Amino acid sequence: MFDSKITKKLISEEQIQQTVSRLGKEVTEHYTGIDQELLVVGLLRGSFIFMADLVRCIELPLCVDFMTVSSYGDGTISSGDVKIIMDLDTSIEGRDVLLVEDIVDTGKTFSKVIRMMNNRNPNSLKVCTFLNKPECRTADVTVDFCGMDIPNEFVVGYGLDFAQQYRNLPYVGVLGE
């Protein structure tokens, strides 16, 4: 079985659905009354499953876009130099933007993405993450909409991967060795 290296189930399918539904309501409430469509931007690849579920729970006119960034190059340790691999198709200038991430841990790369996005002059920029590891944070990142805080364990499933594997698990589990 391909998930035999999962040592424990951290978040069940039911908990995921409840969390995404709650976040959708929070986002809807926050952005109700804006003058234009909300622009929801996902960071690929990890956020795609969460973002697909989230946008279906947001009861507002919206459009979606994606970007891919990297700070790893060919190594396994972040260089700290964020490179845009795939940029947005949509201008964010003057727009209300919700930046969606699967997990925020150290925040190093994500804080640089937020700075890059703010330099594009959005009307507003808010952050929504499914999972948050506050005890890992080494960079200043404000999470406006948080699914849940989790302990400092390596997790996979529901879009989160290890070497591009496990993204399709319907739950979030802790990966063992």
- Widest pairwise Cα distance in the chain: 50
List the catalytic residue out of 53, 96, 102, 105. 105
Q: Could you confirm whether 105 is annotated as catalytic?
A: yes
**Cβ-based neighbour number of residue 168 at 10 Å:** 13
**Strands laid side by side in the 155-156 sheet:** 6-11, 172-175, 155-156
Q: Which of 64, 40, 165, 101 is nearest to 112 (CA)?
A: 101
Instruction: Report DSSP state, residue 90.
Output: S
Residues 6+ apart with CB under 8 A from 108: 71, 78, 80, 138, 139
Instruction: Give the start-end residues of each E strand in 12-123.
Output: 38-44, 62-70, 83-86, 96-104
Which positions are annotated as active-site residues?
Answer: 105
